[in-house]
Structure 1
Amino acid sequence: MSSNNSQRTDCSQTRILIITTDKNILDQLEQVQYNEKSDRQNSTQKKSKPKVNDLICVVCGSPANGYNFGAIACESCKAFFRRNARKDPKSLHCVEKGDCKITPFTRRFCSSCRLTKCLNNGMQCDRIWTIEQKAEKRRQIEENKKLAMNSNVQSNEEKLPSTSCLDDLSMDTNILFTDFTEFLLPQAQLNANDLQRIETISDSYQRRIEFAAREGLPWDPSIPTKTFIQVLNSHSVHVMRLLSFFKQIPEFNQLDVNDRVTLIKYNLNTLLGINCALWYKKETHELIEDDADVPSNMQFYQILHGYKTCLESRKIFLSLLHLASYDRKIIQLILIILLLTKGFSITNPSDEQIFNDGTSVDQLHNYYTELLWKYMETMHGYAKAVNLFSELLAHITSWQIIHEEMRNNILRTLSPDDTNELLPIMKSILRVS
């Protein structure tokens, strides 16, 4: 989900969004786009992947190697759960009161309490495969490997559009191409560090509301909104909460400060709609991020943007909502990846700035994109991961275009007096001049 971040005068040109970690392709294409920076970029050292603590078993607290049956568990608890998962905990009988403390030293003393703790901490019986299921899984993996090998022998010309197709798209040498096909090949699954990183990201997202409240909000989310300007200013709450999530990503804080400002300025507004998929209340059909908030006021939505745009955005949002209910961590990772995406505003790139250290942004973007792919392949299998990845690309590209149209609708509606009433953070996010 990477694209060009350079200034261009022709806003009608088409741009292609593709993804890669192929350093050779990136080096060749960046050399075309940034000839004057090639020496500095070639000398830039790659940042090492972040170090994280070892995993801890959620059952007994001993060191763990990864996910087992839906939860982080050690080899001992993994084997125990496989043997006893389909038994009734009561049938195992606890000699105490049913609340025995499970530690690496006591875990063998009470099977009943140990099994109960396994189940309470997310280990799932339906993830224990039969011999037939394991054999089918191995067969599918072998088929996927064969398909990957067959696709890998194709030439670069077969992978990329032909020259005639490029001419038809009226593209120039400033467009930065990257190739996301490498992510769609079966590869090593998540290691312990990757799993811990994903859990840390999930925890950081849960803490965003608390952290934002500590720093202070520019708008009281418990106050109902009545006017259009109040509705816009109320969005500052969601902006600050999303920012508090990103501030907990250590690598983002290590980027050049001006580059961080640019990424936030051009990307954050579009991420607000994607973020809504994680806290939309399906029971009441309301957009409410926290229990203390009042529901988001949507009365101006269709009047401002029109029926067609609202219908298109609703279709995309429902798809994102379905994906969020399927696996929330995918959306959480997507938010980070899209924040780190250069040239995210594909329909109006002419005023975007050149990054001071674009290479660091690229490397961090590629790291989290690869982490997302490995997570989807590990948790959902190769075939499902390919489908999810393709759907994400399609939905996000469509969302970019629609959301840019919505931003322009807002800017056309604002009068000078309205602009003066906008909070500073909203002026920045909407890029009000």
Structure 2
Amino acid sequence: MSSVELLGTGQKRQRIMIITADESVIDQIKKSNNISFLDQIILPSENDNSEKSVQHNKVQSSNKKNRPKDVSLVCVICGSSAHGYNFGAITCEGCKAFFRRHARKAPTAFHCDGKGDCRITVETRRFCSACRLAKCFNSGMQCDRLLTVEQKAEKRRQIEENRKLALSSNLLTNEELQLSTPPLLIDLLPSIDTDILLTDFTDFLSPQSQQTLLNSNDLQRIEAVSCCYQKRIELAARDGLPWDPSMYSRTFIDVLNSHSVPVMRLLSFFKQIPEFDQLNIDDKVTLIKYNIRTVLSVNRALSYSPDTHEFIESSSDVQDNIEFYSVLHGYNTFKQSKKVFLSFLHLVKYDRKIIELALIVLMFTKGISTTNPQDEKILNDTMSVYRAHNYYTELLWKYMETVYGYEKAISLFSELINDIISLQTVQEEIQNNILRVLSPDNTDELLPIIKSVLCIS
């Protein structure tokens, strides 16, 4: 996920969030600075939370005749008009076909008559196949995305087996997960090959995509994530909590400090994720500081009990005191917050694993904070975070498509994205209200972890 500011109609800046595993998409958007450029990658939504998106689409539709015809992507090989992503790069149909024909040929198959640095354009691309193919590889196109006829047949054969296996795995109840004690995630699975370049989000949107298969290792990883999530309470208690979860919160400061408990439990969850645990310590701090509020809000849907209408993560916890929220934030904000929460709750009732995986995706997301995003530090190891984010985004998509089918997966993914965008809008208002009522004396009473969550230095 990445956040980008674009100039909309009337030159008013609009902040949007885009899920992609290809940074070139973000570069293309920033260069174009045009909202109409997004028509090719925005997902449709049936969710009520996307009223603004619906209105924007209506405006775009009414102005379609006035738009320039050529607002498509640009081929990174020859510079001609491109219509999508092929083998890991933005290319035109001609360069796509060229790469498909020649990518697996021996390096000596082509010879450059010049110095090996021929300029490849739409006019010259046929003059030197050696330099054209070299530019394809240098631009990110990948041989491993080319499948043989036999490989395609084998992939199709595995679809039904994997879907049945996933459906069977999804029948596990929370009680069964708690009783089971599989090994830790880091011990259960081999480490991710850092040379693997995962497919971008646009590739996910094709029903025939080779990346949408959920294999046995993927299923094992998803179950291990669920197990790690269940173990977070035990591990956090073992490490020590800064607040007693069995103590009722009577003041607003108590309410804020009591949130340190789910925060510490979430951190215990993320420590079990090998990609997070192996990060540079400074990068961990940056991701936690700027992403934990969003993650914490989404996580509340997993702790809600529909039977008692309470937010309780453990049997020893007391009910979260919510009497301050409606007074502090006002009726409209409280109502909007409740609406967003119910949307996440719908996804939880549908499938808890979707939210559990989404928590990891959000933690690895750079630049979604609504609080001083311009102050967010540059990561020391951007690529490790980038690869982890892409891996779990792809894993989430593959899980939904394998279990629920392509059409339903699109609907669920769209609903999740819109809920996160709506949550960010509400979070900004809530954050401002909290900071507005906190006096210096109140701030001194806050626990250090809560100060970090609120971005209070």
TM-score by length of 1: 0.64
Cα gap change, 1:65 to 1:399, in 2 (>3 Å): closer
Match among 333, 339, 355 for residue 315 of structure 1: 339
Match among 68, 71, 84 for residue 165 of structure 2: 68
Amino acid aligned to 2:273: I
Q: Is the 8 A contact 1:21 1:182 kept in 2?
A: no
**Are residue 415 (structure 1) and residue 450 (structure 2) matched?**
no
Cα gap change, 1:383 to 1:353, in 2 (>3 Å): same
Amino acid aligned to 1:374: K
Amino acid aligned to 1:68: L
Match among 204, 213, 235 for residue 183 of structure 1: 204
Match for residue 14 of structure 2?
Answer: 14
**Are residue 325 (structure 1) and residue 422 (structure 2) matched?**
no
Gap regions ≥5 residues in structure 1: 6-11, 33-41, 47-63, 74-116, 123-177
Deviates more, 1:21-30 or 1:223-232: 21-30
Q: Is the 8 A contact 1:66 1:191 kept in 2?
A: no
Cα gap change, 1:415 to 1:121, in 2 (>3 Å): closer
Cα gap change, 1:328 to 1:388, in 2 (>3 Å): same
**Are residue 301 (structure 1) and residue 322 (structure 2) matched?**
no
Distance in 1 (CA, whole Å) between partners of 2:30 and 2:385 is 13
Percent identity between the aligned chains? 60
Q: Is the 8 A contact 2:163 2:403 kept in 1?
A: no
Gap regions ≥5 residues in structure 2: 6-11, 33-137, 143-160, 178-198
Amino acid aligned to 1:291: S
Distance in 1 (CA, whole Å) between partners of 2:27 and 2:294 is 29
Match among 234, 248, 263 for residue 210 of structure 1: 234
Deviates more, 1:346-355 or 1:323-332: 346-355
Return the offset for 1:24.
5.3
Amino acid aligned to 1:199: E
State the SS of the aligned residue for 1:387. Answer: helix
Amino acid aligned to 1:236: S
Q: Is the 8 A contact 1:347 1:401 kept in 2?
A: no
Distance in 2 (CA, whole Å) between partners of 1:414 and 1:202 is 37
Return the offset for 1:180.
3.6
State the SS of the aligned residue for 2:323. Answer: coil
Distance in 1 (CA, whole Å) between partners of 2:176 and 2:4 is 44
Q: Is the 8 A contact 2:162 2:213 kept in 1?
A: no
Cα gap change, 1:319 to 1:28, in 2 (>3 Å): closer
Match for residue 426 of structure 1?
Answer: 450
Q: Is the 8 A contact 2:2 2:365 kept in 1?
A: yes
Amino acid aligned to 2:298: I
The count of residues paired between Structure 1 and Structure 2 equals: 300
State the SS of the aligned residue for 2:318. Answer: coil
Distance in 2 (CA, whole Å) between partners of 1:347 and 1:3 is 13
Q: Is the 8 A contact 1:18 1:180 kept in 2?
A: no
Amino acid aligned to 2:203: E
Structure 1 segment 373-412 matched on structure 2, within 5 A? 373-412=397-436
Distance in 2 (CA, whole Å) between partners of 1:426 and 1:348 is 17
Q: Is the 8 A contact 1:190 1:378 kept in 2?
A: yes
Amino acid aligned to 2:206: L
Match for residue 103 of structure 2?
Answer: none
Return the offset for 1:358.
1.7
Structure 1 segment 273-292 matched on structure 2, within 5 A? 273-292=297-316
Return the offset for 1:367.
0.9
Considering only aligned residues, what root-mean-square deviation do their CA atoms show, in Å? 3.1
